[in-house]
Amino acid sequence: MSAGTSADHAATLEVGAGAGVIAEDRIAVATQWQLIWWRFRKHKLAVGGTIVLILFYVVCLFADFFAYVDPTESEAQRSLMAPQPIHWMDNGSFRPYVYALKGTRDPLTFKRVYVPDTTTKIPVTFFGHGEPWQLFGFIPTDRHLIAVEGAKPAESLFLLGTDTHGRDLWSRLMYATRTSMTIGLVSVALSLVLGVALGGVSGYFGGPIDTAIQRVIEILRSIPTIPLWMGLAAALPADWSVVQVYFAITIIISLIGWTELARVVRGRFISLKQEDFVMAAELVGCSKSRIIFRHMVPSFISHIIAATTLAIPAIIISETSLSFLGLGLRPPAISWGVLLQDAQNIQALVISPWLLFPSIAVIVAVLAFNFMGDGIRDAADPYL
Amino acid sequence: MIAYIVRRLLLAIMTVWAISVLSFMIIHLPPGDYVTSYIASMSASGSAVSEGEAQALREQLGLDKPITVQYAKWMGLILQGNFGMAMEWGRPVADVIGDRLTLTMIISVAAILFTWGIALPIGIYSAVYPYSFLDYAFTFIGFIGLAIPGFLLALVVMYVGFRYFGANVGGLFSPDFIEAPWSIEKAWDLTKHLPVPAIVLGVAGTAQLIRIMRSNLLDELRKPYVMTARARGLSEYRVVMRYPVRVALNPFVSTIGYLLPYIVSGSIIVSLVLSLPTVGPLLLKALIAQDMFLAGTIILLLGVMTVVGTFISDLLLMWVDPRIRLGRE
C-alpha cells in the first residue's frame, strides 16, 4: 500500500474524538472489525452503495409488497401501455391521484388505445389494500406499497407501463429484482467454495499442486466465457422446471467465475505463511486445519469478503446477458435479463422505450456492488 | 527467451486442448446424437435419409464407439478441415462460418485498438494530474462504463442513433456492399462502419485499462529517478514520457491476454443487438436450433482464435519488455 493509504489511516486514528489520548485508547482496544467499520464509514460512495443494496434486498424479501399486481397476469387489450404519470397535488393539497383510462379505437388503425379520462380521478394511496399475498409465505395480508382506491390496480395503475402481453412492468421489475439479486448471491457462494478450497490448497501447499491449479486458472481465464456459457446453457433440457434451470445457471456461471477468488485467496495464503504468528502456531504443534481456520482465515476474511462483493456484479451481468439471449432463465421465470428480452430490437425500442427501464436496475445494482466492494477492499486491512 | 516462448506455447496448446474438450462436451450434452438430429432436420426439409446412409455416417463419426474414440475421430476430422454439416443451412460448417470468423476478429482488434487509443492518453493525464476535476470525471465515466453490460450500451446507442440522428447504426456494411465480393470500396465501407461496434465493445475494457495505467504510472512517478530527471531540468513532457510511461506500459501490453477473451466474448452479444455479420448471431441460432455440431465448432474456433491472439500478444510483450526477453521476470 502507498502513502495515500497511510494518510487515510492517520485520519482514521482521529475518528470521533476530541482529545488525542482518548482517541488512541479507543483505537488500542478496538477490535479488528471495529477498525474496518470506522475506515469503511469514511468511504462515502461505499456507504451509499451499501444503502442502495440494502434497499434492493428489501425489495427481494418483500417483492409482493412492492408489486401491486400479479406479474404473470396478462391482458392482450392492455399491451404496450406507456408509463402513466402520478399527479401528486390535487387542488393545492397533497392527494396523489391518477386519471382513469378510457379505451377507444384509433379511427385510422382501428387499434385499441387507452387515453386518460381527465374527468375521473383515482386516488393513489400508500400502504393501502390490494391483492392478497402472504408475508414470509404464511402470514396473509393485502397491504401494498402502492394501491388505488375504488378501482382494481391491474386496470388503473401503470407506473412503468406494460409489456407486449400487457403485464405490468413495475410489478414484474420487483419480482425480477428478487431473481436477479439472489442469483448473484447463490452463484457467488458456489464460486466462493471453489475459490477458497482451490486457492487455499494452491497457496498453502505450493509445489506441483500450486502449479497445476495455477495453469487451470490461466486456461480458464483465456477462454471467451460467453460462448462457453451459451453452449452449456443451451444444452440444458428444455423440459426442466424454473427452479432446476435457476440452479443449473448458477452452477454454470460459478464454474467459470471462481478463478478470481482463488487468485485472491492464494495470494493471501502465500503472504501469511511467512508471518511470525503462523510459524509460532506451527512450533507449538497446532494441526494444519487449526492453523488454517483459527489463525490464518480470520486475518484475511475481510479480503475474501471484498473479493466476493466485487465478484457479484460480473455474475449479475452474466445472468442478465444469458437470459437476454434467451439461453438463461426462461419465462415464466422473471429476471432482469428476461424483461430486457422484450427490448431486443430497435423497432420495439422506438415504439416502447420504457421497456429499457429494467436496465437502470441492472446498472444501479452493479455500480452499488462495485462501490461497496471498493470500500471494503480499502478498509479490509485496518492495521496497514 | 526460448524457455519463455516454449512455456507460452505449451500453455497455448493446453488451452486449445481444454477448449476442444469443452466444445466436444457441449456437442454431446443434449440427448440424441448428431445422426438423429441430422435425420430429423433432413426429413423436415423433405429429403429422407436411408438406414444405410445413417449407418455409414455413424461409422464415419464413430458414434457407436466409446466417447474417447469419438473425440479422437472428431479431432481427426477437424484437423483435416472437415467441420461437418451445418444442418439448418444444409452446407458444410466451414462454408457457413467463413467470412464471419474473420469479421469477428476484425471487430475485436478494432475494439482493442480503440481501447488502447483512449485509455493511454487518459491514463497518463489522470496520473499526471491526480485528483483533478478531469481525473474524477474520467473515473466516474469509467465506473459507469464498467457497470453497463455491452448489450445494453449497444441498445442505447441504437436507440439514440435512430431517434436523434435518424440513422441505423447497426450492421457492418451499407446495403449495396452486403452481397458484393471483397474490393477496396467494400473494405472502406467496412472501415466506416467499424467505430460504433468498436466503441461499444471497448468501453468496459477501457475503464479497466485507465485504472491500471493510472495506478502504474502514479507509482512510477513517485520514484526517485523521476525527481532526478526533474532536478536536472528536463522538460516536464520528457520527464513523464521518456521512462515512467514506458515502464508503466508493460502491464498494459500484458493485459491483452485477458482483454482479448473478454472482448471476443462481448462481441457475441453485441453483434446480436447491432446485427453484425459475425459468428455471434450464427452461434445463437445454432444453439437454439440445437445444431450442436455447428455451435461446438464455433466455440472451438473462437477459443483457438483467442489463444492465438493471446500468444501473439505474449510475443509482443517479450519485444516490449527486455526483462522478459532476457529471462528475468
Half-sphere exposure of residue B56, counting CA atoms within 13 Å on the CB side?
A: 5
Tens of pLDDT, residues B197-215: 888 888 878 888 888 888 8
pLDDT attached to residue A271: 83
Report chain B residues whose CB lies below 8 A from the CB of A340: 152
- The whole-angstrom separation of Cα B140 and Cα B133 is 11
Q: At B176, is the pLDDT very low, low, confident or very high (cuts 50, 70, 90)? A: confident
pLDDT attached to residue B288: 79
DSSP state at residue A296: I
Contact check, Cβ <8 Å, B168/A237: no
Between these two residues, B13 and A128, which has the higher pLDDT value? B13
Which of A29, A31, A33, A37 shows the shortest CA–CA distance to A12? A37
Please check the confidence at residue B254 and state whether its pLDDT lies above 80: no
Contact check, Cβ <8 Å, B29/A2: no
- The whole-angstrom separation of Cα B321 and Cα B247 is 9
pLDDT attached to residue B44: 67
B272 touching chain A per CB within 8 A? yes
Please check the confidence at residue A12 and state whether its pLDDT lies above 60: no
Contact check, Cβ <8 Å, B299/A326: no
Please state, rounded to an integer, the average pLDDT across all residues of chain A. 80
| Cα R_g (chain B), whole angstroms | 24
- The whole-angstrom separation of Cα B307 and Cα B256 is 11
Please check the confidence at residue A244 and state whether its pLDDT lies above 80: yes
Judged by average pLDDT, the poorest of A218-227, A277-286, A358-367 is: A218-227
Report chain B residues whose CB lies below 8 A from the CB of A356: 155-156, 159
pLDDT attached to residue A13: 46
Contact check, Cβ <8 Å, B269/A226: yes
Q: Are B292 and B26 in contact (CB under 8 A)?
A: yes
Between these two residues, B127 and A113, which has the higher pLDDT value? B127
Contact check, Cβ <8 Å, A343/B11: no
Q: How is residue B44 written as a grid cell?
A: 423436415
Looking at residue B104, its amino acid is T
DSSP string for A119-175: EEEEEEEEEEEEEEEEETTTEEEEEEEEEESSS-HHHH--TT-B-TT--BHHHHHHH
Task: Give the end-to-end CA distance of chain A in Å, rounded to a whole number.
Answer: 8
Residue A116, beta-bridge partner list? A101
- The whole-angstrom separation of Cα A162 and Cα A156 is 12
SS3 content of chain A, % helix, strand, coil (to 5): 60, 15, 25
**Nearest residue on chain A to B19, alpha-carbon basis:** A223
Q: Are B117 and B130 in contact (CB under 8 A)?
A: no
pLDDT attached to residue A167: 84
Please check the confidence at residue A20 and state whether its pLDDT lies above 60: no
User: How many residues are recorded in chain B?
Assistant: 329
pLDDT attached to residue A2: 41
DSSP string for B105-166: HHHHHHHHHHHHHHHHHHHHHHHHSTTSHHHHHHHHHHHHHHHS-HHHHHHHHHHHHHHHH-
Judged by average pLDDT, the poorest of A93-102, A189-198, B256-265 is: A93-102
Please check the confidence at residue B322 and state whether its pLDDT lies above 80: no
Q: At what angle do helices A169-205 and A242-257 cross, to 10 degrees?
A: 40
Looking at residue A14, its amino acid is E
Q: At A22, is the pLDDT very low, low, confident or very high (cuts 50, 70, 90)? A: low
- Of A3, A218, A340, nearest to B11 by CB-CB distance is A218
Q: What is the mean pLDDT of residues B135-158?
A: 85
Provide, rounded to the nearest whole percent, the portion of chain A with pLDDT above 90.
5
- The whole-angstrom separation of Cα A121 and Cα A116 is 10
Please check the confidence at residue A9 and state whether its pLDDT lies above 70: no
Kind of pairing, strands B85-86 and A93-105? Answer: unpaired
How many helices (H) does chain B have, and how many strands (E)? 16, 2
Q: What is the mean pLDDT of residues A253-272?
A: 84
Q: What is the mean pLDDT of residues A163-188?
A: 87
Which of A123, A122, A156, A137 shows the shortest CA–CA distance to A64? A137
Q: What is the count of residue pairs from A and B with beta carbons less than 8 Å apart? A: 132
Please check the confidence at residue A6 and state whether its pLDDT lies above 60: no
B306-310, Cβ contacts within 8 angstroms, sequence gap of 24 or more: B306/A222, B306/A223, B306/A224, B306/B260, B306/B261, B306/B264, B307/A222, B307/B12, B307/B15, B307/B16, B307/B19, B308/B12, B309/B105, B309/B108, B309/B256, B309/B260, B310/A222, B310/B12, B310/B256, B310/B257, B310/B260, B310/B261
Q: At A214, is the pLDDT very low, low, confident or very high (cuts 50, 70, 90)? A: confident
Q: At B329, is the pLDDT very low, low, confident or very high (cuts 50, 70, 90)? A: very low
Please check the confidence at residue A185 and state whether its pLDDT lies above 80: yes
Report chain B residues whose CB lies below 8 A from the CB of A321: 149, 151, 269
pLDDT attached to residue A160: 79
A240 touching chain B per CB within 8 A? no
Please check the confidence at residue A7 and state whether its pLDDT lies above 70: no
Please check the confidence at residue A307 and state whether its pLDDT lies above 80: yes
Report chain A residues whose CB lies below 8 A from the CB of B290: 234
Give yes or no for a cis peptide into A332 (omega within 30° of 0). Answer: yes
Provide, rounded to the nearest whole percent, the portion of chain A with pLDDT above 70.
91
pLDDT attached to residue B312: 83
Please check the confidence at residue A18 and state whether its pLDDT lies above 70: no
Provide, rounded to the nearest whole percent, the portion of chain B with pLDDT above 90.
3
pLDDT attached to residue A51: 92
Tens of pLDDT, residues A335-376: 898 888 888 777 778 878 888 888 889 999 999 998 888 888
Looking at residue A38, its amino acid is W
Contact check, Cβ <8 Å, B307/A222: yes
Top mean-pLDDT range of A18-22, A74-78, B101-105: B101-105
Between these two residues, A59 and A139, which has the higher pLDDT value? A59
- The whole-angstrom separation of Cα A233 and Cα A236 is 6
Which of A132, A129, A149 shows the shortest CA–CA distance to A141? A132
Tens of pLDDT, residues A31-47: 777 888 888 888 888 88
How close B232 comes to chain A (CA, Å)? 25
Judged by average pLDDT, the poorest of A292-296, A308-312, B85-89, B230-234 is: B85-89
B127 touching chain A per CB within 8 A? no
Q: Are A148 and A98 in contact (CB under 8 A)?
A: yes
SS3 assignment, position A352: coil
pLDDT attached to residue A55: 92
**Nearest residue on chain A to B304, alpha-carbon basis:** A223
Please check the confidence at residue A384 and state whether its pLDDT lies above 60: no
Q: Measure the CA angle with vertex B26, ends B24 and B29; round to 5°.
A: 110
pLDDT attached to residue A14: 46
Please check the confidence at residue A183 and state whether its pLDDT lies above 70: yes
Which of A216, A95, A335 shows the shortest CA–CA distance to B15? A216
Q: What is the mean pLDDT of residues B264-272?
A: 86
Q: At what angle do helices B292-320 and B279-288 cross, to 10 degrees?
A: 150
The pTM (predicted TM-score) of the whole model is: 0.81
Judged by average pLDDT, the poorest of A2-11, A126-135, A299-308, B303-312 is: A2-11
DSSP state at residue B81: T
pLDDT attached to residue B194: 85
Please check the confidence at residue A110 and state whether its pLDDT lies above 80: no
Tens of pLDDT, residues A43-84: 888 889 999 999 999 888 888 888 877 777 777 777 777 777
Q: How many other C-beta atoms are found inside a 10 Å radius of the C-beta of residue A330? A: 18
Which of B308, B221, B327 shows the shortest CA–CA distance to B256? B308
- The whole-angstrom separation of Cα B97 and Cα B282 is 8
Which of B142, B110, B133 shows the shortest CA–CA distance to B212? B142
- The whole-angstrom separation of Cα B40 and Cα B55 is 15
Q: What is the mean pLDDT of residues B89-118?
A: 84
A4 touching chain B per CB within 8 A? no
B282 touching chain A per CB within 8 A? no
Q: Which residues contact B117 (CB under 8 A, 6 or more apart)?
A: none
Please check the confidence at residue A5 and state whether its pLDDT lies above 60: no
Residue B184, beta-bridge partner list? none
pLDDT attached to residue A10: 46
A219 touching chain B per CB within 8 A? yes
Residue A99, beta-bridge partner list? A121
- The whole-angstrom separation of Cα A38 and Cα A378 is 12
Alpha-carbon dihedral sign for residues B4, B8, B11, B13: negative
Please state, rounded to an integer, the average pLDDT across all residues of chain B. 81
